[in-house]
Amino acid sequence: MTQYMILIYEDEAQYATATPDVFGEIMEAHNAFPAAAEQHGVKVLGGNALQSTGTATSIRGGSDVTDGPFVETKEVLGGYYLVEAPDLDAALAAGKLCPARFGGVEVRPVMTFE
């Protein structure tokens, strides 16, 4: 089994203008995600949503503190899941089910040290 991070990148602006109905749908999709992933042999170990990039602070070179996210892009890291999967195909199958209606996800294996 290998651990993967499913990193969720989305357009924040769309969340700011989403109706309560849309929000409800997204929350429901996230609640249903672990069970859906399980169907592909993928176990969700954890995950979090992040506050908007407006709340982010970046530090470069250990001292240079700036207001805002590290990279300015339209689609930003807004949350993640940590999952355990038998292989990349299974992790990608779970990644395809991961809710990200205003963007997409990146699937990255977690490094292990022996």
Partner 1 sequence: MTDASAVAAAVADAHRREWAFVLAATVRVTRDLDTAEECAQEAFAAALTDWRSSGVPERPGAWLTTAAKRRALNVLRHQGVEHRYLPLLMEDDAVAGPDEVSGVDDIPDDRLRLIATCCHPALDRTAQVALTLRLMCGLSTAEVARAFLVSEPTMAARITRAKKKIAVARIPYRVPPAAELPERVDAVLAVVHLLFTTGHTTPSGDELVRRDLVERSLELARMLRRLLPGDPAVAGLLALLLLTDARRETRTGPDGRLLLMEEQDRARWDSRAIAEGAALVREALRGRPPSRYALQAAIAAVHAESPSWNDTDWREIAALYEVLVQLWPSPVVALNRAVAIGFACGADAGLAAVDALADDRQLAGYGYLPAARADFLRRLGRVDEARTAYTEALALTENAVERDFLAGRLTALGPP
Per-residue contact track with partner 1, 47 to 86, x per CB under 8 A? Answer: --------------------------------------xx
List of residues 6+ apart from 98 with CB closer than 8 A = 6, 8, 33, 37, 81, 105
Choice between 54 and 86, CB closer to partner 1: 86
5 makes contact with partner 1 (CB under 8 A): no
In whole angstroms, the minimum distance from the beta carbon of 87 to partner 1 comes to 4
Q: Which two tokens stand for residue 26?
A: 């997204």
Instruction: Using CB under 8 A, count the residues that bind partner 1.
Output: 10
Strand order in the sheet with 2-11: 43-49, 75-85, 2-11, 103-109
Among 35, 89, 98, 100, binds partner 1 (CB under 8 A): 89
Instruction: Give the gyration radius of the chain's Cα atoms.
Output: 16
36 makes contact with partner 1 (CB under 8 A): no
8 closest CA partner among 106, 87, 86 = 106
Among 14, 28, 87, 96, binds partner 1 (CB under 8 A): 87
Cα 56 from Cα 64, distance rounded (Å): 14
Choice between 65 and 111, CB closer to partner 1: 111
User: For 40, phi and psi rounded to 5 degrees?
Assistant: -100, 15
Q: Which residues would be at the binding site for partner 1 (CB under 8 A)?
A: 2, 85-89, 91-92, 108-109
